[in-house]
Structure 1
Amino acid sequence: MDSWVRFSAQSQAKERVFRAAQYACTLLGYTLQKNGTSPDFLARIKQLEAHLSLGRKLFRLGNSADALEAAKRAIHLSDIVLRFCITVSHLNRAMYFACDNILWAGKSGLVPHTDQEKWSQRSFRYYLFALIMNLSRDAYEIRLLMEREMNGKCQKGAGDNSCTPREDGKLQQLTLRLKLQLRLLVHVLRNNPPLLVDVVKNACDIFIPLDKLGLYKTSPGFVGLCGLTSSLLSILTIVHPWLKLKP
């Protein structure tokens, strides 16, 4: 089991590198197209992007089993919200990887006549659901940390009027409350780098399935930038494991 975990970790690192290169090609191709580069060179960039995508799919073979194992571990978490969000996220990731494996088999010629569009749409739907669960988990963690921080401040200074309602106008009071909440949010994220990295990574990633499913169309350049950013952040969490959000 230990050897499989090590092998899986190495495959994940390579897949992240291929993913970063793939979305870098997407961004580069979009930029060159805007600048009027020759069609032949653009075709080469797109061909390289397709090869990188196929290579990524090869590295993800067997990831469904890892996602199911992660779901089994998450189901024992004591916090019911974290248990639900993380377990459902891993289950959707397992289905996403399974669809991705079928796409790989079709593109590599092992399973000819595979409906690429149908399985691609299914895979992106599962990917979107997993990201929604990840962002929900992030929002829950942020809320807990903000409440803890606010309670700590109010206990330290019981007479501080920042913890008690004021008799100002409703609009002024709402504005002040929003400013305090924003300041507290920045403070919480600054003091919790793993949570900040996870929020930015998931926020970038969610635009990819939204675009592919036609729910929120952007542009190949924006998708490439989001994919490249999230890939670099994922590589960062592999190089520095303490930046990975736990559990």
Structure 2
Amino acid sequence: MEAWVRFNGQSPAKERLLRAAQYACTLIGYTLQRNGASAELLSGLKQLEGHLSLGRKLFRLGNSVEALEAAKRAIHLSDLVLRFCITVSHLNRAMYFACDNILWAGKCGLSPKVDQNKWSERSFRYYLFSLLMNLSRDLYELKLLMEAETRGKNPSAKLSEENGGVSRGPSSPRHPVAPQIRLLIRIFRNNPPLLLDLLKNTCDLFIPLDKLGLYKTNPGFVGFCGLTSSILSILTLVHPWLKLKP
């Protein structure tokens, strides 16, 4: 209960709940359409999805400043790769939120002359760049952990892996990929924040790819990815230790 009260008191938490509801509407609408639901029901879901999207944009007003502050903090990281990936990601997030704020003003009627298609495309482009940096950071951290795990093994095990995972002993594995899979499972089991961040960013990646026409899927798949990543984000807010740091 205490975790929920803490979660409910955060603006990002409310935005994540709206996001989850928005993509749930997308997924449900696509499923109902495939099953021949009435046009009136589909129209109602579409309107609800639009209202949830507009509400999310309201909660994100001013997030550009937070993203810029996060970029200023990240630029002091000692690791060069992490410094580059995290700083560039936050800068792209700042631009993404700025475009999103302009879209909000256009959709609310405060600035009716806003070209919503143009600013939506810009918004998703910055979002895509931010996600690519996040995924690069995840893969880099995974690489460091794999190297650390490999260095911690005994010399005979390392020699076996260097020879393609095949040793001359009678108990050598037939499939050289198996040790790598076991290594990944062990790393992810010991580092849940990295696993959650990698899954979340991978799910989110399909959203701008679809919206920009770079990898077209369907609304159902986009809704599923958005809902999954939203739930994972909510988990990191309810349990802060699950959030990848720095």
Q: Does 1:45 align with 2:42?
A: no
Who is 2:3 aligned against? Answer: none
Q: Does 1:108 align with 2:108?
A: yes
Q: CA deviation at 1:144?
A: 0.2
SS of the residue 2:152 aligns to: helix
Residues 190-221 of structure 1 show CA distances to partners (whole Å, capped at 9, x for unaligned) of 11000000000000000000000000000000
Q: CA deviation at 1:183?
A: 1.9
User: Any unmatched runs of 5+ in structure 1?
Assistant: 1-5
Q: Which residue identity does 2:205 align to in structure 1?
A: I
In structure 2, do the counterparts of structure 1 residues 167 and 74 end up closer, same or farther at CA, with 3 Å as the change threshold? closer
Q: CA deviation at 1:11?
A: 1.3
SS of the residue 1:189 aligns to: helix
Who is 2:29 aligned against? Answer: 29
Q: Which residue identity does 1:144 align to in structure 2?
A: L
Q: Would the aligned equivalents of 2:33 and 2:42 in 1 still touch at CA under 8 Å?
A: yes
Q: Does 1:201 align with 2:200?
A: yes
SS of the residue 1:61 aligns to: coil
Residues 109-150 of structure 1 show CA distances to partners (whole Å, capped at 9, x for unaligned) of 011121000000000000000000000000000000000001
In structure 2, do the counterparts of structure 1 residues 168 and 48 end up closer, same or farther at CA, with 3 Å as the change threshold? closer
Q: 1 CA distance for matches of 2:155 and 2:203? A: 40
Q: Which residue identity does 1:234 align to in structure 2?
A: S
In structure 2, do the counterparts of structure 1 residues 192 and 115 end up closer, same or farther at CA, with 3 Å as the change threshold? same
Q: Which residue identity does 1:158 align to in structure 2?
A: P
Q: Would the aligned equivalents of 2:165 and 2:179 in 1 still touch at CA under 8 Å?
A: no
Q: 2 CA distance for matches of 1:208 and 1:192? A: 26
Q: 2 CA distance for matches of 1:167 and 1:234? A: 37
Q: Which residue identity does 1:47 align to in structure 2?
A: Q
Residues 73-108 of structure 1 show CA distances to partners (whole Å, capped at 9, x for unaligned) of 000000000000000000000000000000000000
Q: CA deviation at 1:54?
A: 0.2
Q: Which residue identity does 1:205 align to in structure 2?
A: D
Q: 1 CA distance for matches of 2:218 and 2:165? A: 48
In structure 2, do the counterparts of structure 1 residues 167 and 103 end up closer, same or farther at CA, with 3 Å as the change threshold? closer
Q: CA deviation at 1:164?
A: 4.9
* Equivalent residues in 2 for 1:147-158, closer than 5 Å: 147-153=147-153, 157-158=154-155
In structure 2, do the counterparts of structure 1 residues 164 and 32 end up closer, same or farther at CA, with 3 Å as the change threshold? closer
User: Any unmatched runs of 5+ in structure 2?
Assistant: 1-5
SS of the residue 2:10 aligns to: helix
- Percent of aligned positions that are identical: 73
SS of the residue 2:32 aligns to: helix
In structure 2, do the counterparts of structure 1 residues 103 and 72 end up closer, same or farther at CA, with 3 Å as the change threshold? same
Q: 1 CA distance for matches of 2:162 and 2:181? A: 18
Q: Which residue identity does 2:46 align to in structure 1?
A: K
Who is 1:15 aligned against? Answer: 15
Q: CA deviation at 1:59?
A: 0.1
Q: Which residue identity does 1:121 align to in structure 2?
A: E
TM-score w.r.t. structure 2 length?
A: 0.91
Q: Does 1:74 align with 2:74?
A: yes
Q: CA RMSD in A?
A: 2.0
